[in-house]
């Protein structure tokens, strides 16, 4: 909290005297405002990692109470935002303290508009039908703390609550591409590096990285007899789907690797995560140009995270990520939310 607030009208939610003040932030619209710390009971379904269990409660759950105008720009029907960041008030830290488990959580975003993905608080197993435990096949990479907050408004000296990883290089179809590698590190002003974001629907690349990745992708696609067509906003690089085969891992296009702490550790994206079907005849590369001066050089967005299990370990500052679950013949929508009773 950043100070103590007073309210000059009758007490109501969001307006109380002698209350800790916070700065709630809509990370989609980049609008922040003043709010206050509040406390309530929160209930959540428990699980053994395979099936849902009984509903459990946190009796003194802390949250930021914000004016309702802060919801503008979010999806219809949204009544709040769940904070999963590296803060003490975030859900992972509060649930870990309340239920005495490790400060870990896992996110699995569904690619379906009609079937939900799942978030697990605590350690695995994380089992998807027909019995695939995604926690058993994770690749691990360090999480880094950006010393400068990436929020819309923040007190001086506050570190970022977001999750950064150390991408060292990028390959297209397993061929390295030439990049300005200084952009891949976070400088002392908090600029640069790579973060994971469920806010951005598609991965956003600094313009020179975007140019290098897309040129390599276009060349590799041409070698596969894939024809380029006009871009469809927000995508600049699109292809005719007529020469693109379908596979279990999505459209058969060049793979994209984010190479991490060494050349043996990489996050490989196949067509299901790299391509977006904009209509029946056109597939676009689902990466967008972030311009020449973004705060963060690479922002891995929602589409690239779909059907990939991500485990965030706050205690050891480590990310575990699966290969696409499509390769194991399951998806993030295949958690059994129905009771086995």
What pTM value is reported for the model? 0.94
- Which conformational region is residue 56 in: left (phi greater than 0), alpha (psi within -120 to 50 degrees), or beta? beta
DSSP state of 337: -
102's tokens: 């490790």
Confidence of residue 2 (pLDDT cuts 50, 70, 90): low
What are the tens digits of pLDDT across the range 274-301?
Answer: 999 999 999 999 999 999 999 999 999 9
User: What CA–CA distance (Å, rounded) separates 146 from 334?
Assistant: 34
pLDDT at 179 over 60: yes
Shortest CA distance to 35 belongs to which of 9, 77, 5, 73? 5
Q: What's the CATH architecture for 136-334?
A: Beta Barrel (2.40)
Q: What's the CATH architecture for 4-124?
A: Beta Barrel (2.40)
- Residue 211, H or E segment: helix 207-223
What are the tens digits of pLDDT across the range 23-53?
Answer: 899 999 999 998 889 999 999 999 999 999 9
Residues of each domain in the chain carrying CATH 2.40.70.10 = 4-124, 136-334
pLDDT at 271 over 90: yes
Shortest CA distance to 307 belongs to which of 68, 64, 109? 109
Hey, which residues does 21 pair with through a beta bridge? 36
56, 134 Cβ separation under 8 angstroms: no
Q: Considering only 45-54, 151-160, 189-198, which range has the smallest mean pLDDT?
A: 151-160
User: What CA–CA distance (Å, rounded) separates 19 from 4?
Assistant: 5
What are the tens digits of pLDDT across the range 226-258?
Answer: 999 999 999 999 999 999 999 999 999 999 999
Residue with tokens 């790299």: 274
Sign of the CA dihedral running 182, 185, 187, 193 = positive
- 280-283's contacts with Cβ under 8 Å and 24+ in sequence apart are 280/241, 281/240, 281/241, 281/242, 282/229, 282/232, 282/238, 282/239, 282/240, 282/241, 283/238, 283/239, 283/240, 283/241, 283/244, 283/251, 283/253
């Amino acid at each position: 909290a950043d100070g103590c607030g007073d309210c000059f009208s009758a007490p109501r939610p969001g307006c109380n005297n002698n209350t800790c003040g916070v700065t709630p932030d809509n990370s989609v619209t980049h609008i922040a405002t003043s709010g206050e710390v509040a406390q309530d009971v929160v209930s959540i379904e428990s699980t053994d990692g395979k099936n849902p269990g009984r509903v459990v409660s946190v009796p003194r759950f802390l949250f930021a109470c914000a004016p309702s105008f802060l919801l503008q720009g979010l999806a219809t029907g949204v009544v709040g935002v769940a904070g999963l960041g590296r803060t003490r008030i975030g859900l992972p830290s509060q649930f870990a303290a309340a239920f005495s488990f490790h400060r870990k959580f896992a996110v699995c975003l569904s690619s379906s508009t009609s079937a939900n993905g799942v978030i697990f608080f605590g350690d695995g197993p994380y089992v998807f039908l027909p019995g695939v435990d995604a926690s058993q096949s994770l690749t691990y990479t360090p999480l880094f703390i950006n010393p400068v907050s990436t929020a819309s408004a923040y007190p001086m000296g506050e570190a970022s609550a977001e999750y950064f990883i150390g991408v060292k290089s990028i390959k297209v179809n397993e061929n390295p591409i030439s990049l300005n590698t200084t952009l891949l590190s976070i400088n002392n002003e908090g600029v640069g590096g790579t973060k994971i974001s469920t806010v951005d629907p598609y991965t956003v690349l600094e313009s020179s990285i975007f140019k290098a990745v897309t040129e390599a992708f276009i060349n590799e696609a041409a070698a596969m007899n894939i024809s380029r067509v006009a871009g469809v906003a927000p995508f600049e690089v699109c292809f005719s789907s007529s020469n693109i085969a379908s596979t279990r891992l999505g459209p058969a296009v060049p793979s994209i690797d984010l190479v991490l702490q060494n050349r043996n550790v990489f996050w490989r994206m196949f067509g299901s995560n790299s391509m977006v079907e904009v209509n029946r005849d056109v597939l676009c590369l689902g990466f967008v140009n972030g311009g020449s001066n973004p705060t963060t050089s690479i922002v891995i967005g929602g589409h690239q995270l779909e059907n990939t299990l991500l485990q965030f370990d706050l205690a050891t500052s480590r990310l575990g990520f699966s290969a696409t679950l499509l390769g194991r013949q399951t998806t993030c929508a295949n958690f059994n939310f129905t009771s086995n009773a």
